Amino acid sequence: MTEEILIRIRRAVREGRYDFTDHLLEEAAADGLTTDDVLHVLLAGALDSTYGDDPRGPRYVVRGDVDVAEVDVVCRFDRDGRVVIIIMAYVVD
């Protein structure tokens, strides 16, 4: 199941089927990250956890490295199969 989710996320990103929320864009700018950094995490990171408590569908946390920081990106799929990239935060060791 984990691998299938990552495949779906990566396929959607490669095909340009994703959207950034305003919150994500604000958080990325505040942390000095670019949208390319966020996409890199989704394409190269690992599925860290899944939360099924959202009525819009499960949220997935993908963890990956960007420069010298480890970053979590939270995303979900919308009804059309697009990846909605919600938020990200640095992982504190």
> What contacts 38, CB < 8 A, 6 or more positions away?
20, 24, 28, 71, 73, 85, 88
Task: Say what angle helices 35-44 and 22-30 make with each other, to 10 degrees.
Answer: 100
> What contacts 54, CB < 8 A, 6 or more positions away?
76
pLDDT at 78 over 80: yes
Domains and CATH numbers, the chain: 2-90 (3.30.2310.40)
pLDDT at 92 over 60: no
Q: Give me the pLDDT at residue 82, please.
A: 87
Q: Give me the pLDDT at residue 60, please.
A: 95
Token pair for 88: 């990200």
Q: Give me the pLDDT at residue 91, please.
A: 57
Dump pLDDT digits (tens) for 2-58: 889 999 999 999 999 999 999 889 888 888 889 999 999 999 999 999 998 878 889
